[in-house]
Structure 1
Amino acid sequence: MSEDGFRATYGTGPEGVWAAPGRVNLIGEHTDYNDGFVMPFALPHATVAAVARRADGRLRLHTGSPDVPAGVVELHVDELEPGGGAGWADYPAGVIWALRDAGYEITGADVHFESTVPTGAGLSSSAALEVVTAVALNDLYGLGLERWRIARLCQRAENVYVGAPTGIMDQTASACCTEGHALWLDTRDLSQRQIPFDLASQGLRLLVVDTRVTHAHSEGEYGKRRAGCEQAAALLGVDALRDIPYEGLGDALARVEDPELRPLVRHVVTEDRRVERVVELLETGDARAIGPVLTEGHASLRDDFKVSCPELDLVVSAGVEAGALGARMTGGGFGGSAIVLVEESAAEKTAEAIVGAFATAGHREPRVFTAVPSAGARRLV
């Protein structure tokens, strides 16, 4: 399909086809830019790129997505600058800018994208777009970049070129996750472990509920939370909030007088601890016990970090009332998706209860699907 789209757009075939997935974050929200712990896994939903090199400096980008204006975006690699203003094309263009700024010679490319990652759903559609671009160019240009380095360059593209102050989790998940596992990641040093996450073998299912409420990370609120965390860390005399031990949280909170900063500190420190608890439970084979930890995390995001919204709260409350083991919002917040851990036998009933609750509340019908831990970025052809 992507090869056909490339030929229809550019009149010739690509040199290869690559894929990079979206992700669900199981636990560890708003901890990545605090040097903390996260635990995402890759979805089967992916962005696919058919790519061919160019030697003339031209960069031509095209997407088959019906959600963006039709036509090829044409740029020149020598003219790429942060704040490019090319809309969706800023994400792949930013990757090429970041690669060239790091000293890698990229002389141009023709790219056709297609994607099954829902946009605006908190499932990292932007990271998938960035990572698939970087992985393709890494292969075609023989750059020899390790996956963690690709993730770092993609994060820089989003932070500096696009202007969204995101952490490293999304790009690392898309680049590094493996099938059947969740990825425990220390965002400070990028050390990582693959944690077995086979819910089906335990009679469980993890539902993703896309509320269809869109968010925009590059707009104010996300940046405000990040700035608040950095301010609190400075007040506490640490490099980042991950340096506050869970056992010392009470003392730290007593030292933060600002009523807006105090709950940010509480969320980050307790969320790092929740990641550790989920790892411990999964490694002992007790996946059911992570349910209450997920729900506890949602309460923290709702009440302390204040990044939830009525639709996300409704997913959690309706899911738990219907018998779910636990539920929480996932992603940056202000919309997007929530995850719901259920017994396999109760999955359909729980999904119906959530959809019914949305109808009763007058909300747009959510999209519900099962999350299956899948492979990270890879070459297809």
Structure 2
Amino acid sequence: MKASLLKEEFKTNKYDEMLKDLYEDASLVDYQKDRYANALDKFIELYGDENVSIYSAAGRSEISGNHTDHQHGCVLAGSINLDAIGVVARQDDVINVVSDSFNIAPIHLNDLDKKDEEEGTSEGLIRGVVSKLKELGYNIGGFKAFITSDVLVGAGLSSSAAFETIIGTIIDGLYNDMSIDMVTIAKVGQYAENVYFGKPCGLMDQCACAVGGLISIDFKDTEHPVVNHVDVDFSKYDHSLCIVDTKGSHADLTDAYGAIPAEMKDVAHYFGKEFLREVDEKEFFDHLADVRDAVKNDREILRAIHFFKENARVPQIVEALNNDDFDLFKKLIKESGNSSYKFLQNVYADFDYKHQAVSAGLALSEIVLGDHGVSRVHGGGFAGTIQAFVENDFVPEYKKEIEKLFGEGSCHVLKVRKLGGCKVVEE
């Protein structure tokens, strides 16, 4: 369908029910209708009024399994109702993408080799995704697209993974009839980010963005991660997922992030293993004094303790949800957050102890929420965001109080959505 006609259909309410279902919130329908219409207008401005299709890839929120994936552990994550959407038309031999206000250089399909100068760029991510899909034997082809995203950048919601996922999903939809397994799309995104973009990320972000819903992932075999849907209607618990941007800077935190897997691996190496998942927990505690003496770094010991306890906690949380025991779920989430704070120690950087925005946010959240919810550090930590599960009726009070500290608009009230990477509207 022509982009202009599709825009009129959005304005005449044809897609209201679809938008309500996709974004899990009736109050967002008007916002999304305007967003899709504006994206169609932008496509027409860029490329003309052509036949188009529309794709979406969700952002994600890690719920449990904080810093376990890089040790081949278990995680629980959910796709959220912030996403990247792409208005797309086919073309031959070249990929043209404009992403919000960023003009991305054309990617020619006869030149998919890695380019060092594209590390850290959107061009690198696109080229990497398409190259890997071709290597795996899938059909590839050109397209022109306008992509816009409301996934918060730098907030631990995986804006880059959503971008990788939507590129893979577009190729899937245009040239493979949506036949590619979404875990494969996730692996392709991780490959692009690791090899072409130059960032050594794990697979959790891409899996959660691509697969959709609430999922548990076991990374014991990273080539074949076990991904299971947690078949729970999260909305029935009458709680909202709040992500609070504490406005802390991620600058100069590369070493702090990098130290976590390095220190965990250092403990694993004492036992002749590469990753803590390979170490027997009982053996670790039986030899705790010897390990401490060998590594001469108590933080390494504490971070290893976090891994063992957090990795065991993930299936407990899944079981609580499967049993509809939301009170136990919240209790375990609180335990997970406490472990991150005390043992993993990723709430603030020790070299910058005067700036503890996440700590302040967690302290205020605990005071304000009382029995109305729980909060924890979100994602990588040190700066950025906190996560809170808040009773729906109490959300306005929590939002009001937390925004006194971090400013208007800092508390984002989200829902877990069912779909990850998907085709929204057919060509």
TM-score, length basis structure 1: 0.87
Please, which runs of 5 or more residues in structure 2 have no aligned partner? 1-36, 349-355
1:127 aligns with 2:166: no
What is the match of residue 97 of structure 2?
A: 61
Summarize deviations over 1:150-179 as a string: whole Å, max 9, x none: 11111111111111111111111111123x
What is the match of residue 9 of structure 1?
A: 46
What is the match of residue 352 of structure 2?
A: none
What is the match of residue 289 of structure 1?
A: 328
1:311 aligns with 2:343: no
Is the partner of 1:256 in helix, strand or coil?
A: helix
Contact conserved, 2:242 with 2:388, CA < 8 A, in 1?
Answer: yes
Aligned positions of 1:146-161 closer than 5 A: 146-161=181-196
Q: Aligned partners of 1:5 and 1:347: how far apart in 2? A: 35
Contact conserved, 2:104 with 2:122, CA < 8 A, in 1?
Answer: no
Summarize deviations over 1:336-357 as a string: whole Å, max 9, x none: 221112233322222223223x
Aligned length, in residue pairs:
368
Instruction: Supply the AA of the counterpart residue of 2:264.
Output: C
Answer with 261-270 or 216-225: which moved more: 216-225
Q: 1:240 to 1:366 in 2, by over 3 A?
A: farther
Q: 1:21, CA displacement in angstroms? A: 0.3
Aligned positions of 1:134-149 closer than 5 A: 134-142=168-176, 144-149=179-184
Q: Aligned partners of 1:6 and 1:276: how far apart in 2? A: 44
Contact conserved, 1:210 with 1:368, CA < 8 A, in 2?
Answer: yes
What is the match of residue 60 of structure 2?
A: 23
Q: 1:12, CA displacement in angstroms? A: 4.5
Instruction: Supply the AA of the counterpart residue of 2:100.
Output: G
Instruction: Supply the AA of the counterpart residue of 2:420.
Output: G
Q: 1:245 to 1:204 in 2, by over 3 A?
A: farther
Q: Aligned partners of 1:380 and 1:216: how far apart in 2? A: 36
Aligned positions of 1:1-381 closer than 5 A: 1=37, 2-13=39-50, 15-56=52-93, 58-65=94-101, 70-77=102-109, 78=111, 80-83=113-116, 84-85=118-119, 87-104=121-138, 106-142=140-176, 144-178=179-213, 182-188=214-220, 189-215=224-250, 219-251=254-286, 253-257=288-292, 258=295, 259=297, 260-309=299-348, 310-322=356-368, 323=370, 324-356=372-404, 358=405, 367-374=410-417, 375-381=419-425
Q: 1:136, CA displacement in angstroms? A: 1.0
- If each structure's helix is expressed as a fraction of its own residues, which one has the higher value? 2
Q: Aligned partners of 2:323 and 2:240: how far apart in 1? A: 18
Is the partner of 1:110 in helix, strand or coil?
A: strand
Instruction: Supply the AA of the counterpart residue of 1:288.
Output: D
Please, which runs of 5 or more residues in structure 1 have no aligned partner? none
What is the match of residue 29 of structure 2?
A: none
Answer with 211-220 or 231-240: which moved more: 211-220
Q: Aligned partners of 2:167 and 2:340: how far apart in 1? A: 32
Q: Aligned partners of 2:380 and 2:71: how far apart in 1? A: 14
Larger Rg: 2
Q: Aligned partners of 2:59 and 2:123: how far apart in 1? A: 18
Summarize deviations over 1:234-276 as a string: whole Å, max 9, x none: 3223352123355554235444332143222112111112212
Identity %: 27
Q: 1:284, CA displacement in angstroms? A: 2.0
Q: 1:88 to 1:333 in 2, by over 3 A?
A: farther
Q: 1:207 to 1:252 in 2, by over 3 A?
A: farther
Is the partner of 1:185 in helix, strand or coil?
A: strand
Q: Aligned partners of 1:184 and 1:302: how far apart in 2? A: 23
Is the partner of 2:215 in helix, strand or coil?
A: strand
Q: Aligned partners of 2:194 and 2:252: how far apart in 1? A: 11
Instruction: Supply the AA of the counterpart residue of 2:186.
Output: A
Q: 1:306, CA displacement in angstroms? A: 3.0
Q: Aligned partners of 1:122 and 1:14: how far apart in 2? A: 35
Q: 1:192, CA displacement in angstroms? A: 2.4
